[in-house]
Amino acid sequence: MSGIAVSDAPRRGRARRGGGSWWAPARTGFAGLALLAAAVVPSASATTRPAVPAPAGTFAYVANGLAGSLSVVDTADDTVTSTIDVGDDPNGVAVSPDGNRVFVANRLSDTVSLVVPAAGAALSVPVGDNPVGVAVSPDGTRAYVTNTISNDMTVIAADAIPPSVIATVHVGTRPQDVAVSADGTRAYVANLLDGTVAVVDTTDNTLLTTVPVGQLPQGVAASPDGTRVYVTNFGDGTLSVIDTASGTVLSTVPLGNGTSPADVAVSRDGSRAYVADFSSDDVSVIDTAANPPAVIATVPVGEEPLGVALTPDGSRAYVTSSMDNTVSVIDTATRTVTGTIAGFDIPLGVATATRGVGGTPTALTLSVEHRGDGHAHGNGHGRDDSGVRGRRGPTLKARLTAGGRALAGRSILFAGDSRVWCTGTTDSRGRAACAVRGEQDDDACYTAAFPGDGTHAPATATTCPERRVAVNGKR
């Protein structure tokens, strides 16, 4: 799920249900798109378990627009396993192919958060004005972020820590969602007020052309074979099907009056498209192999659905319902809702990915040295050694190995309390360090994380220096 927000100006504190600011096409000023009704106080945040080293498995990542956080849902049992702080008014979400990095567009912070699930923490990268959409290239090296007020797209080095901005491309007026082709050579951006889709050459980050579609295009998805791009038209209740070879609309699928389609996801085999219909509170299932493509089912979900994402195996769809703070789980075989996850805070964007432990196994250790005492505490295995905390922030020291040999030139994130304190690069001995600023709480815990690099598997180490067992009445 990517771009789902638009605002006439980056003004903080604009009204939304429950307070704050949120997705509202009505801000474009079009009559008939007034979507804000009576104020409703949202429910409390989802109950979560304490953050732990990220396991392998398939996860759904949900942006909580009101809370400024990202919820991590284990799709094995559809429970929220952790909630990670990101920026203000998070919208679009995208995940790297290996599942080890999650990117979140924070509309009112003008940033994109890089979330490392293994560390349970995030760091931010400044982008354009009001970022709402984000997509990651198939090889995981680039992230593309649409900025709806500055009318451009930021290109980020997604495999670097911290990520760096590579280029900025003007794409059109009020860009929303963005999708990347299967071969990674094209990015497609829905321009809300232009009624077009911009086609960007990702090899040199230049705008190639724009394709006219329907009214107020929002969501974009590319077919796995690269031949089609699907675009939701919020303003006229249709789905445009673009032929990527000719750059023209092949067909327009009517979804029905009063649907207000917001987001779209395409199955791995390309035979189905799933559209979140904001106003009709359902998901349209489209047979894309038919000529012309047609709606074959509608699945009722929660109130005012915005985001939709399919699991990598295509067996389930996760749909965010912004008004009732839930995520619906659809069985794509039976086209029925098999579960509803409650307790989010204006859920907007959603993305899914399988996080593996492939690659050469690695080992990471972490110690904490408090300034003023000269002693290191913690062994990187969740056990703690005794010591006395200094008055200033500690120095965190990590060592990364594979098969007992040091790994040099790898990025390490040092985190605590859902934030990244700093990043470091391992030296020839596999060591990296971080000096934490400011005095920390006595019960503070610290985590070092290696996100993995395609060749080597991710690894984490956590230590809590002050959480040790008293011996003879002494700490």
Q: What are 152-195's pLDDT values in tens digits?
A: 999 999 988 888 999 999 999 999 999 999 999 999 999 999 99
First-to-last alpha carbon distance for the chain, in angstroms, is 49
Residue indicated by tokens 């809702």:
337
CA distance 186 to 210: 12
Give me the residues paired with residue 431 across strands: 399
Higher per-residue pLDDT: 136 or 38: 136
Instruction: Count Cα neighbours of 358 within 13 Å in the Cβ-side half-sphere.
Output: 10
Structure token digits, residue 242: 């673009």
CA dihedral defined by 241, 244, 250, 254, rounded to 10 degrees?
10
Q: What is the pLDDT of residue 143?
A: 98
Q: Residue 461's pLDDT is what?
A: 87
474 or 228: whose pLDDT is higher? 228
At residue 355, does pLDDT exceed 50?
Answer: yes
Token digits for 38? 């009576």
pLDDT of res. 449: 87
> Could you give the CA distance from residue 289 to residue 294 in angstroms, rounded to a whole number?
9
Mean pLDDT across 292-318: 97
CA distance 450 to 465: 21
Q: What value does the mean pLDDT of the chain take?
A: 83
Q: Tens of pLDDT along 42-93?
A: 333 333 333 344 567 899 999 999 999 999 999 999 999 999 999 999 999 9
212: Cβ contacts below 8 Å, ≥ 6 apart: 195, 196, 249
Per-residue confidence (pLDDT) for residue 123, from 0 to 100? 87
Residue 1: pLDDT band with limits 50, 70, 90: low
- Which tokens sit at 258? 């009063």
Q: How many CA atoms lie within 13 A of 199 on its CB side?
A: 19
Ramachandran sector of residue 323 (left: φ over 0; alpha: ψ -120 to 50; beta: rest): alpha
For residue 151, pLDDT over 90 is answered with yes
Of the candidates 83, 103, 149, the one whose C-alpha atom is nearest the C-alpha of residue 351 is 103
Residue identified by tokens 């006395």 is 388
Backbone angles phi, psi at 27, to 5 degrees: -70, -15
Q: What confidence tens digit (pLDDT) does each residue in 81-95 have?
A: 999 999 999 999 999
Is the bond preceding residue 292 a cis peptide, omega within 30 degrees? yes
Q: How many CB atoms lie within 10 A of CB 40?
A: 13
Tell me how long the chain is: 475
- Indicate the range of 278-282, 350-354, 418-422 predicted with least confidence: 418-422
pLDDT at residue 11 greater than cutoff 50: no
Any idea what the Cα angle at residue 339 is, between residues 337 and 340, rounded to 5°? 105
What pLDDT does residue 24 have? 39
CA dist 52 and 68 (Å) reads: 20
The pLDDT value recorded for residue 456 is 85
Q: pLDDT at residue 214 above 70?
A: yes
